[in-house]
Structure 1
Amino acid sequence: MIKILSSLVAFFSITSLCAQNVAAEVPKLVVGITIDQLRGDYLEMFKHTFGEKGFKRLLNSGLVYANVSYDFPAIDRASAMTTLYTGANPSYHGIIAENKFAVDLNRETASFSDDKYLGNYTTEKLSPLPVKVSTLTDELQIASGGQSDVFAFAPHASQALASGGHAATGAYWIEDFSGKWATTTFYKNKQPVVDQRNRGIESTSNRINSITWRPAIDVNQYNAFPYTKNIYNFQHFFANDKKNSVKLFKQSPYVNTEVREIAEAVLRSNSLGKRMNPDFLAVTFYAGNYENALDKNYSVEIQDTYYRLDQELGKLLDAIEETVGIKNALIFVVSTGYFNEQEILPQGMVTSNGIFRPERTQALLNMYLMAVYGREQWIKKYYNRQFFFDRKLIEDKKISLADFQKTAAEFLVLSAGVQDVYTSYQMLHGAYNGVLQHYRNGYYKNISGDLFLELQPGWHVEDSQNGDHQFMRNNAVLSPVFFLGNHIKPQKIEQTIDALQIAPSVAYRLRIRAPNAAKGSILKELL
């Protein structure tokens, strides 16, 4: 009996040790798949058109969180992507939006603008240095002593630079005019596979004039929206608009094919996941609207985009299985948590809302400030629902900046269409409350403005200076998160997680430090 008990104790001890070793096994390859504007409700609505290898594989075999939230205002692709890879809000990482108003230059610039570095296959001068903290991929390179390969491929520069980080082997995006894969001289390594793609006949720049976007399957299967006036067979020729052909291409599902093909080529040619140290492949797909969709409200094009995205996702997962093995990889798929709605009101419809015109609001505010403080041009710029004041003028006139901001805010909050106004002084010194903290999370000193406007839902913004024409909405967008591989137990978690938790959770699985500004807790299902 004693021998039997001893044998059982030994057996369970070994079993327990093996289980711990499996859980502690570091993945050979991490694949971060960010899908810009992915919606969970659309996954449910369009699933009857999906195959078994893409989203259904993630849903059936992965760890699924119902929703991810970003706790700061005006989320866009640059701020969301940087938040995901730093595990920090814009108040720490410094990327508050795709573009910013540079006060010293008195003009709009890209948030990743950096005049110190030239571009390859682009005239843009960009670098990841505007990200003020470390990224998940940075920490992997630090841990491996620079021996890991880190690649990022995305439709847009901000997405590639944020996910590639400061120490990437290569970070590439599709240039807006040529359609070639571009990068910055900040990164010193050149990749023959990418150069070959740019020079070859398969290059987007060589193919775009011959691409016609038509429905991939019988259009009658795109029946998810019951309010669609008609199910139409669309045709979009990118060559019809020479000036914007690449821009339109990047709003179509063909951009996902281009991203997947180059990412898969690098995965294979560089033998990612087959060396001593883990490698990292960051891929960004697009699941947003097409601005030239024939029906703006309920689009057949968006259903075709999801059908084709499901196919591309399945092909990428198959390539990972073939080269490294899903069990040897850690794959996470995450949405950027916002959606740019297209909306056309029926002709003759009258609403209780109105049109918010920034230029008019700026003129009225400046007239009021002139009456209070003197006849000067107090406002430098209205930009992205922020007002920037001439701080040097305010300082020269010996006016309290806090009082000046408060005076302006009290005037603006009475304006039609304005829900509330927050000052930068409140951000830095105000009493805590949940709404103010939400705006504080999106504020970065010397980059953000003096006043932040919260506009009322339903109001139509018409900004002729930067082309901002949109209906304000406060709808929550369901944005799922998936984890697959690395011995992760398949399960569905009906809860909302914080975007700040993703980077430290992946870092935990890699057994490396979390990014240096990441404060989010590790997801307990990944412990």
Structure 2
Amino acid sequence: MKKNILFLFIMLWGITQAQEKPKLVVGIVVDQMRYDYVYRFWNQFDDNGFKKLVNEGFFLRNTHYNYTPTYTGPGHASIFTGTTPSVHGIIGNNWYNKADGLSVYCAGDGNSTTVCDCENHIDVESTAGKMSPHRMLTTTFSDELKLFSPQSKVFGISIKDRGAILPAGHTANGAFWMGKSGEWISSSYYYEQLPEWLVEFQQDKPATSYFKGAWKGRGFGYPMDSLLASRGPSSVKSTPQGNTYLKDLAIELMKSEKLGKDKITDVLTLSFSSTDYIGHQFGPHAEELVDTYIKLDKDIAEVLKYIDSTVGSENAIIFLTADHGVVSVPNELKARKIPAGYFDASQLTAELNSHLSKYYGEDNWVLKYSNQQFFLNRKLIEESKIKHQDIQQLAADYLINVDGVLNTFTAHQLHHNEYQNNFHSLIQKGFNQKRSGDVVIALNSGWIEWNSPTGTTHGSCYSYDTHVPLLFWGKGIEQGVSDEYISICDIAPTVSTLLGISFPNGCTGQPIRSITE
């Protein structure tokens, strides 16, 4: 009898443990963080930031984006929806809208208005808050959590609007980002007015308070007061202090909104953007970038310390990843005899149009070049009774001979084939039939579209852009490391499994068994 009672007790205890959900989930995205940064800067990190996540959490070292283009908007959407641009629809930061011939922004929403505490300069911020996630076609894991548990609180914050809005999903309680004046703002999609705690936070810690002393490192120094005077308060985003400002906001938000303070799971998405601004300007091997990550390590340590001391690591799940990587500065590669180059598309639209006119008559056959895609004049093509696949292929055959182009793909090919080849499938998974162009080009490795001999960018299908870190830490996460291939789309179903909720409705990823089992 006693044995039966003991057995029943153990079973009930096990079920209770399995049913207990984390009180808080924090998804950290480091904009433009390459996988190798973890090890490159390891000896300069303290023990309580990145090292803590590695030494106490689970490090998935072979995590990749399984599509291209590797930009900020698609990256943030894919992490939290568990699918690719072909499904969630965020095919770039901006893209050409075939319906009206205008460029649209991934988080733009003309039906929303700016919400800010900036009475004296609302004109400056008038467009900065016209934002929402309405262009994202699928749910995030936090949307599914809100459907499962309406009392759950969900917030997204970032210096970049898209880094705050897309991860938080359609049903978030709020999202905050930095406006043009350096103030934290939001949208009428979420609020009629800013929460009182945020107003007080900005009064106590305005952006200008982060411009003290100088940004110094090995071989460089930039007076912060000169930067403030010449470029205004929002220029804090281009210094490590931008990450610190966001960290301070994250801690204040968790405190004021009481995240993780009851048994109902809450979510905070936190995207550090300054790493991207600095990476673009200086490149991945600059001392400025090294210093940025040393300081970010301390900011992450403070976030982890706050969560551990208020919610408890045993009650929280934290994951950290990146929205894309970055290529080395092409001129630096060329100086080391590594193939690289700069792709100039400024005249290519006119040149392609001239080529097509030789076959179909002089007319406006090419409407737009955007995100390494050419948009053809579909109305004219149909009126001329030309087969779309024929003119697309003619354009592709011309573009393959352009210096710097490795491969070309037509919309017809991408729509009517299912590619298993990794390179081809990356293009296909980033292609949305309704929103993408008629011909897609892929550049050679090391080549970028960039108009400066210094600095660099991202967006390709190569490992320097697709390979990112992925770390899980907290409740139920055992310490370990794995080199199994992980798709970025696997994060959302993994978190959903840990929360016992439905996968996002467009999810194409799979739970990571190293984390869920």
Shift in CA distance, 355/139, structure 1 to aligned 2, threshold 3 Å: closer
SS in 1 for 2:485: strand
Note the C-alpha offset of 1:340.
5.2
Name the CA distance, whole Å, in 2 between partners of 1:156 and 1:268. 22
Name the CA distance, whole Å, in 2 between partners of 1:49 and 1:351. 28
SS in 2 for 1:100: strand
Q: Is this contact kept in 1: 2:237–2:277, CA < 8 A?
A: no
Q: Is this contact kept in 2: 1:238–1:248, CA < 8 A?
A: no
Shift in CA distance, 240/183, structure 1 to aligned 2, threshold 3 Å: same
What do the CA deviations read for 1:386-444 (whole angstroms, capped 9, x no partner)? Answer: 11111111111121111111111112112222211101111111353423322121112
SS in 2 for 1:522: coil
- The partner residue of 1:130 within 135, 144, 159 is 135
What do the CA deviations read for 1:454-485 (whole angstroms, capped 9, x no partner)? Answer: 11224453569xx9988989343542211111
- The partner residue of 1:34 within 7, 26, 29 is 29
Q: Is this contact kept in 1: 2:330–2:340, CA < 8 A?
A: no
1:179 and 2:182 are equivalent in the alignment: yes
Partner of 2:66: 71
1:298 maps to a residue whose letter is H
Q: Is this contact kept in 2: 1:76–1:97, CA < 8 A?
A: yes
Partner of 1:163: 167
Partner of 2:487: 498
What do the CA deviations read for 1:173-210 (whole angstroms, capped 9, x no partner)? Answer: 111x2111121111136422222233x14111x436x4
1:109 and 2:104 are equivalent in the alignment: yes
1:142 and 2:157 are equivalent in the alignment: no
Name the CA distance, whole Å, in 2 between partners of 1:156 and 1:424. 31
Name the CA distance, whole Å, in 2 between partners of 1:194 and 1:28. 23
Note the C-alpha offset of 1:519.
2.5
Shift in CA distance, 194/451, structure 1 to aligned 2, threshold 3 Å: same
Q: Is this contact kept in 1: 2:330–2:456, CA < 8 A?
A: no
Count of equivalent residues: 500
- The partner residue of 1:83 within 78, 82, 87 is 78
Partner of 2:406: 419
- The partner residue of 1:484 within 442, 452, 473 is 473
Note the C-alpha offset of 1:337.
3.2
Shift in CA distance, 490/96, structure 1 to aligned 2, threshold 3 Å: same
Partner of 1:197: 201
- The partner residue of 2:259 within 272, 277, 282 is 272
- The partner residue of 1:457 within 433, 438, 445 is 445
Q: Following superposition of structure 1 onto structure 2, how do residues 369-518 of structure 1 map, counting pairs within 5 Å?
A: 369-430=356-417, 432-434=419-421, 435-459=423-447, 461-462=449-450, 474-476=462-464, 478-518=467-507
- TM-score norm. by structure 1 comes to 0.87
2:313 maps to a residue whose letter is I
- Gapped runs of 5+ residues in structure 2? 117-124
- The share of aligned pairs that are identical, in percent, is 28
Shift in CA distance, 372/313, structure 1 to aligned 2, threshold 3 Å: same
Partner of 2:158: 154
1:166 maps to a residue whose letter is H
Note the C-alpha offset of 1:353.
6.3
Q: Is this contact kept in 1: 2:214–2:222, CA < 8 A?
A: yes
Q: Following superposition of structure 1 onto structure 2, how do residues 342-361 of structure 1 map, counting pairs within 5 Å?
A: 342-345=329-332, 355-361=342-348
Name the CA distance, whole Å, in 1 between partners of 2:190 and 2:459. 40
1:336 maps to a residue whose letter is D
Partner of 2:215: 214
1:118 and 2:121 are equivalent in the alignment: no
Partner of 1:49: 44
1:40 maps to a residue whose letter is Y
Note the C-alpha offset of 1:108.
2.9
Partner of 1:226: none
Name the CA distance, whole Å, in 1 between partners of 2:315 and 2:336. 56
Note the C-alpha offset of 1:17.
5.3
Partner of 2:122: none
Q: Is this contact kept in 2: 1:296–1:344, CA < 8 A?
A: no
1:207 maps to a residue whose letter is S
SS in 2 for 1:274: coil
Name the CA distance, whole Å, in 2 between partners of 1:118 and 1:61. 43
2:136 maps to a residue whose letter is V
2:166 maps to a residue whose letter is A
Note the C-alpha offset of 1:159.
1.1
Name the CA distance, whole Å, in 2 between partners of 1:82 and 1:322. 30
Stretch deviating more after TM superposition (164-173 or 234-243)? 234-243
Name the CA distance, whole Å, in 2 between partners of 1:278 and 1:471. 34
Stretch deviating more after TM superposition (80-89 or 258-267)? 258-267
Name the CA distance, whole Å, in 2 between partners of 1:348 and 1:317. 41
Partner of 1:331: 318
- Gapped runs of 5+ residues in structure 1? 220-230
Note the C-alpha offset of 1:134.
0.9
Name the CA distance, whole Å, in 2 between partners of 1:170 and 1:279. 12
Shift in CA distance, 15/493, structure 1 to aligned 2, threshold 3 Å: farther
Q: Following superposition of structure 1 onto structure 2, how do residues 238-387 of structure 1 map, counting pairs within 5 Å?
A: 239-240=226-227, 244-245=231-232, 248-286=235-273, 287-288=275-276, 290=278, 296=283, 298-339=285-326, 341-345=328-332, 355-387=342-374
Q: Is this contact kept in 1: 2:85–2:429, CA < 8 A?
A: yes
Note the C-alpha offset of 1:163.
1.2
Note the C-alpha offset of 1:328.
0.8
Name the CA distance, whole Å, in 1 between partners of 2:283 and 2:426. 31
Q: Is this contact kept in 2: 1:289–1:342, CA < 8 A?
A: no
- TM-score norm. by structure 2 comes to 0.88
Name the CA distance, whole Å, in 2 between partners of 1:45 and 1:186. 41
Partner of 2:91: 96
